[in-house]
């Protein structure tokens, strides 16, 4: 480990309580001669014991240990925006890790300002997106704060890290380190280890949250999601706050093998990475929301919104949460979600999540118009004239191209197109 010359007065460390950030806790005190304050945020990752983490941080020399439960804020200020934007990066990833980072950056800046700290330290490597999201977030909120990313610089091997932990009396948890994981109430991401070889199928153990579809119950389950202004508000008839809704739906969908997303992902730093996600509630909510939107929106709203959704997902993935474009996109999403209200029933069965039924007071679907049965009010004769005008320019373009070719071959050919 190389010694840094730069000294800091006080550093805020983003602390998970795990081995990596515990090693950082000691290492920063040793190498930067800095006082240290830790920050741990509960975004709904299971089994997070805030009191135990606080105790551990203080035992390892932190001057103060902040632990904050931000599940509600995460749900309403971050996940809600993702739901309204039907956010799926590259059409697949519900952005669970990505949308948590700007919140963590915001909390870190708040603590740093309160504590008069001059730097924020994180445990991200130099290969991922999380460093980008945290550092761009911090820079947008308070550009005077410095960032320390020791893991990016030190290149410590697993063995060296364990030796350092042993030397400094840092407890080594019996955690499964075959993969790198990150989790919050919107989902869990898993990468690394054997998963890095795309030629190999993922071992079953990769999924710890969602049942494998083949092991899921043989009986389907129907869940009812009620939406108001684009957000789910009641689950199976029970009113719930958004974070409670997601936390209640996660185990139901997970039991049925719903929420597994796997794909080849393009990271912002240029690398491709093979990713595995378990986002059970997210799959249900996004499917129900999208279908409800299609039920109440015009064709123009539906097709245009998709373009903005892809842009929103890219911006959130790329750590550009505070870019002014995001505020504009969010304003559009809020406006277009005003009448996304109603109920979707989902059928969960062995990994599949299908929208079984929909109802909404704003539905543009009209049975009298759509029916092939008796009593339709749709004037089929009106279609004839419509088709003529609708296809007029396309028809012209095709015929004119053909006749222009003929004329080029044979200048005496008829010049006019008969339409």
Let me know if 180 is a catalytic residue.
yes
Cα(30)–Cα(358) distance, integer angstroms: 60
Tell which one of 20, 130, 161, 278 touches ligand ARG (CB under 6 A): 130
Which range of residues in 60-68, 174-182, 286-294, 407-415 is near ligand ARG by CB under 6 A? 174-182
Q: Write a three-state SS string for 20-87.
A: HHHHHHHHHHHHHCCEEEEEEEECCCCCCCHHHHHHHHHHCCCCEEEEEECHHHHHHHHHHHHHHCCC
**Near ligand ARG by CB under 6 A, which window of 180-188, 219-227, 354-362, 404-412?**
180-188
Least distance CB 179 / ligand ARG (angstroms):
8
Residue 235 phi/psi, 5-degree rounding, is: -115, 120
β-strand pairing of 231-235 with 221-228: antiparallel
Q: By CB under 6 A, name the one of 135, 161, 182, 293 that touches ligand ARG.
A: 182
Binder among 20, 135, 161, 265 for ligand ARG (CB under 6 A): 265
- The yes or no reply on residue 98 touching ligand ARG (CB under 6 A) is yes
Any contact of residue 131 with ligand ARG (CB under 6 A)? Answer: no
Closest approach, Cβ 105 to ligand ARG, in A, equals 14
Considering the complex, state which of residue 31 and residue 129 has its C-beta at the smaller distance from ligand ARG: 129
CA 273 to chain centre: 16
Q: In angstroms, rounded to a whole number, what is the distance separating the alpha carbons of residues 394 and 390?
A: 8
**Torsion angle (degrees, nearest 10) of CA 104, 107, 113, 118:** -20
Nearer to ligand ARG, 130 or 135 (CB): 130
Scan residues 267-296 and list those touching ligand ARG (CB under 6 A): 273, 275
Q: According to the binding rule CB under 6 A, does residue 352 interact with ligand ARG?
A: no
189 binds ligand ARG per the rule CB under 6 A: yes
Which residues are within 8 A (CB) of 96 and not within 5 positions of it... i.e. 6 or more apart?
Answer: 182, 183, 184, 186, 187, 188, 189, 277, 279, 282
* SS3 call for 378: coil
Catalytic residue among 16, 42, 178, 180: 180
101 tagged catalytic: yes
Q: Is 218 a catalytic residue?
A: no
- Catalogue the active-site residues: 20, 101, 130, 180
Residues making contact with ligand ARG (CB under 6 A): 97-98, 129-130, 180-182, 189, 191, 265, 273, 275
């Amino acid at each position: 480990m190389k010694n840094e010359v730069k000294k800091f007065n006080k550093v805020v460390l983003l602390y998970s309580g795990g081995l990596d950030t515990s090693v950082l806790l000691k290492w920063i005190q040793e190498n930067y001669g800095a006082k240290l304050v830790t920050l741990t945020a509960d975004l709904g990752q299971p089994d997070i014991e805030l009191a135990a983490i606080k105790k551990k941080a203080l035992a390892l020399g932190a001057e103060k240990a902040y632990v904050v439960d931000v599940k509600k804020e995460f749900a309403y200020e971050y996940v809600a925006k993702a739901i309204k934007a039907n956010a799926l990066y590259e059409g697949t990833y519900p952005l669970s890790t990505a949308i948590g980072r700007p919140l963590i950056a915001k909390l870190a800046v708040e603590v740093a300002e309160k504590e008069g700290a001059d730097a924020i330290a994180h445990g991200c490597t130099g290969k991922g997106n999380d460093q980008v999201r945290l550092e761009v977030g911090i820079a947008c909120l308070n550009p005077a704060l410095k960032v320390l990313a020791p893991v990016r610089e030190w290149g410590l091997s697993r063995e060296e890290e364990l030796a350092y932990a042993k030397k400094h009396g840092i407890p080594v948890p019996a955690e499964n380190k075959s993969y790198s994981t990150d989790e919050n109430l919107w989902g869990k991401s898993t990468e690394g280890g054997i998963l890095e070889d795309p030629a190999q199928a993922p071992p079953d153990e990769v999924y710890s949250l969602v049942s494998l579809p083949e092991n899921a119950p043989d009986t389907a389950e129907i869940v009812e999601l009620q939406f108001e202004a684009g957000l789910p508000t009641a689950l199976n008839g029970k009113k719930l706050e958004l974070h409670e809704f997601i936390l209640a739906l996660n185990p139901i969908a997970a039991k049925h093998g719903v929420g597994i997303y796997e794909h080849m992902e393009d990271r912002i730093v240029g690398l491709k990475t093979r990713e595995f996600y378990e986002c059970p509630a997210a799959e249900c909510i996004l499917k129900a929301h999208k279908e409800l939107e299609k039920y109440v929106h015009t064709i123009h709203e539906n097709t245009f919104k998709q373009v903005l959704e892809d842009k929103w997902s890219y911006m959130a993935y790329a750590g550009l949460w505070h870019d002014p474009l995001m505020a504009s996109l969010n304003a559009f999403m809020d406006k277009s979600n005003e009448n996304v209200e109603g109920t979707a029933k989902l059928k969960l069965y062995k990994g599949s999540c299908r929208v079984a039924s929909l109802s909404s007071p704003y539905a543009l679907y009209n049975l009298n118009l759509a029916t092939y049965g008796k009593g339709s009010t749709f004037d089929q004769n009106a279609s004839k004239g419509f088709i003529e005008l609708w296809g007029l320019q396309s028809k012209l373009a095709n015929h004119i191209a053909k006749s222009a070719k003929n004329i080029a071959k044979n200048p005496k050919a008829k010049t006019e197109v008969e339409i």
